[in-house]
Amino acid sequence: MRLPSHKLFMIAILALAVLAVGSEKAEAFHQGGAGECEGCHTMHNSYEGMPVTPTSPVGSVGAYLLKGSDASSVCLNCHQKSGDIGPTSFHISTADTDMPVSSPPRQLPPGGDFGWLKKSYTWIPTLGGTPLNSPGDSHGHNIVAQDYGYFSDSYKTTSPGGFYPTASMGCTSCHDPHGKYRRSADGSIGSAGTPIKDSGSVSSSPDPDPLQSVGVYRLLGGVGYKPKSMSGGFAFSYNPPAAVAPDIYNRSETLAQTRVAYGSGMSDWCRNCHANIHTDALPTPLKHPAGYPNGNLSADIRNYYDQYIKDGDLTGIEANAWLSLAPFEAGTTNYTTLKALVTATPAKGPSITDGTPAVMCLTCHRAHASGWDGSMRWNNRTINIVLNGLYTGGQAGQAFQPNAQGRTELEAQRAYYDITTGTFANPQRTLCYKCHVNGSE
């Protein structure tokens, strides 16, 4: 049989594609765009004779021929790996077997390790008082990833300050699995335009040029985005933020902090699902500005952020003021500036030579999950985050434990990204004080 020429052409293209894939670095997959289809889709739910979806038999397939029971399980096929001994590159979740009771999750990416959602704590706040709880569900965004034991939030039915349904929450609520959104040479963001050449998220990422664009920050969804499977009016109204992460972003911060240069637009992006949070419309748990222009840091706050190293120590300067546990956004979309901020050592504080710095959602929260309630970067439900030289205040293992609230010292330190207590004062109050001289108000 003679194949028509267009079929031969297709076969040649496929063969070339296979060669190209085979020669790629093991670490590259999405490259700012769609990635290899077979990474996420399968025709038969089988790979080397074994089912790829643990909960269903060979031959059956998930919706959209996905290699998992749901979209987020597909992501975790690669983004979680059991046996990781420490922070590992693009892994953002710790397997159950690697975090037994009293041991913390192991990944330390800026967005956070979803493993914290599986850690629940109980403690007694005052001697003789009734026990309080910090349930796993309250530690961040509850993704539905059934193959990996993640289920939707049991306390909230929709996003606070918005109406996104918790039952539909998953990796693809926020990240576009096909990475369609791109940043073009003129700085504009959209789901169409010149082809995507690479990730635009890290400091070594190439810049876009007139012929090729780069992926948006972390493959996040932009204007009009919602997962194909979702019906209803949940399409995003804001584009992904401008930001640059360091090349090595998932690591212990004992020796050096991980500085993400948040540029601008993060708070608006979160408002895709939390339009009214921390405003007059929903002032609980607190009213607070975020992002440009209401969250702009005044000259007083910028100076104070620079000077404040810890309680009682105001000897800091702009050049070394950054604190990864209370970051700010630089207030710019200039990627030359952002890349310079990522690599500057030590990490720099807010400066009007870089842009219009502002407080934003990720000043206080982590995007995925954290070791504390409300996905907070620090424990905001205690007076002192350090007491008696310890995050647990020396009460670890005891029922009466207001400081680290049931966590072990190791768990608490991991929740602070392995930054040691010696970095802080003893005692040290919550990190609202990094910006506010007199505390919360």
Closer by beta carbon to ligand HEC, 165 or else 388: 165
Least CB distance from residue 8 to ligand HEC, whole Å?
A: 22
Instruction: Identify whether the C-beta of residue 23 lies closer than 8 Å to the C-beta of residue 14.
Output: no
CA distances from 425 to 54, 79, 421 (A): 48, 36, 8
Q: What are the tokens at 324?
A: 């990864």
In the complex, least distance from residue 1 CB atom to ligand HEC, rounded to whole angstroms? 28
- Cβ-based neighbour number of residue 251 at 10 Å: 20
What whole-number distance in Å separates Cα of residue 263 and Cα of residue 201? 12
Question: Taking CB under 6 A as the criterion, which residues in 121-140 touch ligand HEC?
Answer: 138-140
CA distance 322 to 337: 16
DSSP one-letter string for 254-289: SSS----EEEE-HHHHHTTT-TTBTSTTB-SS----
Separation of alpha carbons 414 and 409, rounded Å = 9
Binding mask 93-112 for ligand HEC (x = CB under 6 A): ----------------xxx-
Q: Mask: binding to ligand HEC, 348-387, rule CB under 6 A, as x and -?
A: -----------x-xxxxx-xx----xxxx---xx------
Residue 23 sits in the site that holds ligand HEC (CB under 6 A): no
- Residue number with CB closer to ligand HEC (36 or 388): 36
Q: Which is nearer to ligand HEC, 246 or 393 (CB)?
A: 246
In the region spanning residues 282 to 301, those forming contacts with ligand HEC, defined by CB under 6 A, are 284-290, 295, 297-298, 301
Which DSSP category does 132 fall into? E
Both tokens of 245, joined, read 């992460």
The smaller minimum CB distance to ligand HEC, of residues 15 and 389, is found at: 15
**Would you list the DSSP string of 20-57?**
HHHTS-TT-SSTTTT--GGGTB-SSSEETTEESSTTS-
Q: Which of residues 189-218 bind ligand HEC (CB under 6 A)?
A: 199, 201, 215, 218
- Closest approach, Cβ 193 to ligand HEC, in A, equals 17
Minimum CB separation from ligand HEC for residue 80, in Å? Answer: 8
Q: Is residue 227 near ligand HEC by the rule CB under 6 A?
A: yes
CB 107 within 8 A of CB 88: yes
> Is there binding between residue 278 and ligand HEC (CB under 6 A)?
yes
Q: Please, what is the minimum distance in Å from the beta carbon of residue 224 to ligand HEC?
A: 13
Shortest-Cβ-distance residue relative to ligand HEC: 374
The CB-of-63 to ligand HEC minimum distance in angstroms stands at 7
Sites for ligand HEC among residues 395-424 (CB under 6 A): none
Nearer to ligand HEC, 138 or 264 (CB): 138
- Does position 263 bind ligand HEC by CB under 6 A? no
Nearest to 141 by CA among 369, 349, 354: 369
Q: Which of residues 34-93 bind ligand HEC (CB under 6 A)?
A: 34-35, 37, 39-41, 64, 66, 71-72, 74-79, 90, 92
Residues 219 and 34: their CA atoms lie apart, in Å, by 9
- Which residues have CB under 8 Å from 283's CB, separation 6+? none
Residues 154-183 that bind ligand HEC (CB under 6 A): 156, 158-161, 164, 166, 169, 171-175, 177-178
Residue 384, Ramachandran bin (φ over 0: left; ψ between -120 and 50: alpha; else beta): beta
Chain centroid, CA 352 distance in Å: 26
Nearer to ligand HEC, 394 or 440 (CB): 440
Nearest distance, CB of residue 51 and ligand HEC, angstroms:
16
